[in-house]
Structure formats: structure tokens, C-alpha cells
Structure 1
């Protein structure tokens, strides 16, 4: 491709024609002690401290691990039959995989679509994920339980499971670029739509703090705040606090969308 072709392509990518613009049309998520985007909005506007020191994940007895982390609610709840997951598989799935399915369903509904409408469409699935803290339990400690632990805790399967459940045919893969995984997944989805690899995309990101080993390693690395408090841009900043989130958004071209979220989840509603 000559320089003129590259210039034309670059201009098209940054200045799409009418109807080719890419919108976020649906969004859903679980956040620390916040069961939805709107619940999170209310908590933030009311200045609720969502980082807590309790025993919901593990006993706070190790001196190297900060006591305070952000924890989402109800990670042990899942309607397996609704998503066509058998009993054995559901009980050896990484909770991230279960919650991702729930939040994907909600994001699609939020966009004004029935998930069944996506079957056989060129919809891609792009998930950002760094660690699976369920691996120790289901791959090593309880490997005798059933044969589903391998796929239940595989990070690559997080995206593939969604594609299989929805019956979509676009690209489907997980992205791991550490702390930027979700943002990079969003970039990959945007480019895939722009370059014609898919017509729409489901983009998700997840992090759960399920086992103290990872937190202990981060603490010994010196990156965690001992008191479990982020102090961004403050002279007293001494590290960050670990927290959990599972969030999903739905990307579509303007011509295919039924609604758009220019201000993300209607913060002005």
C-alpha cells in the first residue's frame, strides 16, 4: 500500500463515515460492595469507602498482607441451568467465568438486544484478565474432583465460553498485559471492528482476589499500601490497594445500535 493509501486508511479510521462510528451501547459490572454500575455511582457520589477489612476471602492473619481489599458481593451465586452449564462444571469454574457470563448477558440486555439475536453474528469477544486465583484450588488441591477444573480455570476459556454460549463467530480471545489488560482488550475490539474482523464486540475485564498468595507476593514486591489505602497524587502515597471488579461493555457500529452511552451508563439520568 502506498503512502496515499495509508493516509486514506488512517483518515477513515479516525473519521468514519456516518453510521460507522463505534458506540458503547451496553454496560454492566460488579464492583466492590456495588452490585451494578448505578450502585457504584451512588456509592462514589456518597463517598462510601468500598475497601474493607473482613474475612470474606481469607483470614487476615499474615503480617505481610494488607488487611483491606475491595470485594464484590455474591461470588458464590450462579444460575448454572440458565446458562446451560452442568452441575459439575459450574462447581469447578473460576468465579470470574461465572460472573462474566452474568454481566455479558446484562450488558447485551442493556444495549436493547436479546442475547439470542446475536447467534451466528460476527460478534467478537475480547476479555482482559491477568490472574486466575482459582487455579490452586481446582487444578492442584482438588484435581481429583472432576475433569472440568482445567477448562474451568483456563483464562483463555473466559472469552471462548462466552462465544460458545452466545453462538457468535467473531474473534474470541483473552488479553493479558497486566494492569492494562482491560484497556488493551478494548483497543483490540475497536480495531477488530474497524478492520472488518467483526461487526460488534463484547469487551470485558475481571480481577478477583480469591487467594492470599498473590497478595502476599505483591506485598513483598513492595507495591501494596500497608494500610490498604490508595493515595494517588499525594505526597503520602505508599502503594495501591488490591480490589475486585468484573465489568463488561458491548460495542457496536452506530448503524446497528439501538441506543448509545456517550456519558457511560447515564450518569446524568
Structure 2
């Protein structure tokens, strides 16, 4: 078999998503059609301060959000520091996404049979997708380092009689409300260390890095892992993505872009679609070459035959991606798999990114239709509208 097209087996999976604390629970929710959307927990941002359903009808305001519903993992975001050799005192100052990425990586390894079933650890790598949004730990750190001085500076201007000692007292009180300021806190805030922490914890010596491709981060991480396995860089790869950034600034950005649903309901591929909803989660899979997995007697969840990616090149706007660019990625994936999408039975399920704004929904439908039409032209058959 051509090594460039060798099938890749998924032998382990871990997940933390709204309403699902494991990959198995997530799949049960999918089959049951479970709706995990809820109102934002007050601990994320205060709806009494920011939420205004009438804000959608006005010009965008940075501190007024017209949507307050999304997907949250609060009650499921548990982490056992002893399991990973981390001091409990160090956990409070670390980013939740680093801890949950580590937890789901451990769950994926456990799902694959545990540490003892891993191949040579010098040949295992990690690729994690992670967005560059401001996260809770970084937000607290910024407030401690910068905002605390801004607050006391403004107070000194407006109320000069406070004096230096009183201002220092106010700053200390402000910082104390942010939580402990340990010497080991900064290392838990470096975003690129999400993959490195996993590699260090499990003593993995293959390539380990974090990437950011927005909504495509997890898929690109899997593609990189597939290439590493096919190219002989590694014998196993942990791949996935993490997103737990529900800071108020993120909601502000999406509100000002008018990307969120004013009806607070997400309806992908529906004529009534009026926007997306923000959600969070972490997913991780353990990958091996199919031949290696079969030889080791691994349980195989699924097989990846091909992967493809592309960029849109020049478009009218960075917020208006071209359908042709998206079609190119799909065609490259089919070609990488060595399959013909027009062949009978070639397509059993199409899972698409459905962000739900009207324009994005139309582009997703056009992408699927274009792929179907091109495949039909090559085969000489008529495309189906089903």
C-alpha cells in the first residue's frame, strides 16, 4: 500500500462538551438529539450588566450583548490534579483549557487501553488546536498587572485626597479578589504549552505543538497528525482541540460582528437561520496507522482515509469566504483518500460546519451542491437533490 494514503485508525477518544463529560456521552447525546444549549452562567459574565435583547436593533456597542445563550461545560469541567502529578495549589492559577486538554488526552489514552498499550513514547506526538481568544487566566493576569494600576490611577486623578496608602490598599483589595498570585501561575497561561503539557505529562517525545485555524483548528490538527503518521514521524498521535474562552470580550466581538443569533437559537441549514451561538468544549483522539492498530489488536472506533485543507485566497472580505476555496478542501480530501465521490455508496453521511448566519448557511449548501455537481460531471451522472 502507498504509505502516502495509508488509512489511519482512531483507537481512543476523550471529550468534554456541553452536556457530555466523555466521548461516549457526546455520541449518546448526538443520537438522542439532546439540546445542550443554556443561558450563560453568571460566573462567566453578568447578564444583568451586559445583556440587552434590544441591542441588536441599535448600532453595535462593545458592552451590550443581545444574546446570552450558548454551550457551557461548568458542571463537567472537573480535573483531578493527583492523576497527573500536579500540585492542587497550582491548579487555580492555570488556564482551564490546558487542564481539560490534559484530562481528555488522558481519557483518550485510557479509552485505547491505557498507558501500557502505547507504542514507543519517543514516537508519539501531540497536535492541539487552540484559538487565540483571551482566556480566564490571561484576563485575570491582565487585570492584576495592568487594570489594577489603571483603576488606582483614575481614582488618584478624581479623588486626590485619597493618598498613596489608601490607593495602595484599594489596589491590594482589587488584586485579592482575582485569586492567588503564585510564582508558578505564569507558566499555566502560555497558550502554546497546551500540547507541551500533555507531552511532558505522558513523557512523549514526538512532535508536540499547538495551532490556530479558527473553526477548523481541530480538523487541521487531525490532518497534521495523519501526515505525521503517514510520513513516518510518529507511530501514534494525540490530536484534537480545546476551546474554553467565554470571556466577555469574546462575546463582545461576536455581538459587534452581528454573528450571534438575535433569537438565541441556532438553526444550521434552515431558512430561518439568523446567527450562531458560542459554545465550548475539548475533544481528543489517539491515532495510529491502521496496519499497526490491527497488528496490536487495538479496538478501532473509525478509520480516516483522507484529509484535505485549503484557503480561499483573495475574496471580497475576510468575513466572506469563497465557496470555491471550501470545495477545493473537500476535493483534496477525496483525492487523498483515493475515492470517487460519485461512486455508488461512496457518501454515507456529510457532516458540515454549519455556523448558521444566513450567508454562511447558503455557502455551506452551495459547497455541498458544488462538490456533488463536479463529481456527477466526472461520472457522467445527474446530481441528486436529496
Relative to the length of structure 1, the TM-score reads 0.84
Summarize the alignment of residues 208-223 of structure 1 with structure 2, pairs less than 5 Å apart: 208-223=244-259
Pick which of 60-69 and 107-116 moved more: 107-116
CA-CA distance at 1:263 after TM superposition = 7.7
For the residue of structure 2 that corresponds to 1:230, the secondary structure is coil
For the residue of structure 2 that corresponds to 1:224, the secondary structure is coil
Question: Residue 60 in 1 paired to residue 21 in 2?
Answer: no
State the partner residue of 1:260.
Answer: 300
Counterpart selection for 1:174 from 210, 221, 242: 210
State the partner residue of 1:5.
Answer: none
For the residue of structure 2 that corresponds to 1:251, the secondary structure is strand
In 1: Cα distance, 2:116 partner to 2:47 partner: 41
CA-CA distance at 1:89 after TM superposition = 2.5
Summarize the alignment of residues 103-122 of structure 1 with structure 2, pairs less than 5 Å apart: 103-114=104-115, 117=118, 120-122=121-123
Summarize the alignment of residues 242-257 of structure 1 with structure 2, pairs less than 5 Å apart: 242-257=278-293
For the residue of structure 2 that corresponds to 1:183, the secondary structure is helix
Unaligned 5+ segments in structure 1 are 1-7, 265-269
> Do the aligned partners of residues 183 and 253 (structure 1) sit closer, same or farther apart at CA in structure 2, a change above 3 Å counting?
same
In 2: Cα distance, 1:220 partner to 1:135 partner: 24
User: What do the CA deviations read for 1:136-161 (whole angstroms, capped 9, x no partner)?
Assistant: 43421245712333221221100000
State the partner residue of 1:139.
Answer: 141
In 2: Cα distance, 1:96 partner to 1:75 partner: 13
CA-CA distance at 1:246 after TM superposition = 0.7
In 2: Cα distance, 1:30 partner to 1:141 partner: 28
State the partner residue of 1:35.
Answer: 21
In 2: Cα distance, 1:208 partner to 1:137 partner: 13
State the partner residue of 2:100.
Answer: 99
In 1: Cα distance, 2:10 partner to 2:19 partner: 24
In 2: Cα distance, 1:151 partner to 1:29 partner: 24
CA-CA distance at 1:122 after TM superposition = 0.9
Higher RCO (CA-CA < 8 Å; seq separation 6+): 1
Unaligned 5+ segments in structure 2 are 53-63, 146-174, 176-180, 305-386
User: What do the CA deviations read for 1:38-57 (whole angstroms, capped 9, x no partner)?
Assistant: 22233333332211014252
CA-CA distance at 1:76 after TM superposition = 5.7
In 2: Cα distance, 1:138 partner to 1:59 partner: 16
In 2: Cα distance, 1:137 partner to 1:158 partner: 17
State the partner residue of 1:79.
Answer: 80
> Do the aligned partners of residues 218 and 157 (structure 1) sit closer, same or farther apart at CA in structure 2, a change above 3 Å counting?
same
Question: Residue 26 in 1 paired to residue 42 in 2?
Answer: no
CA-CA distance at 1:82 after TM superposition = 1.9
2:94–2:137 Cα contact (<8 Å) kept: no
> Do the aligned partners of residues 116 and 147 (structure 1) sit closer, same or farther apart at CA in structure 2, a change above 3 Å counting?
farther
Cα RMSD, aligned residues only: 2.3
> Larger helix proportion, structure 1 or 2?
2
Pick which of 68-77 and 178-187 moved more: 68-77
Pick which of 230-239 and 131-140 moved more: 131-140
State how many pairs are aligned.
Answer: 250
2:134–2:250 Cα contact (<8 Å) kept: no
In 2: Cα distance, 1:47 partner to 1:206 partner: 23
Relative to the length of structure 2, the TM-score reads 0.60
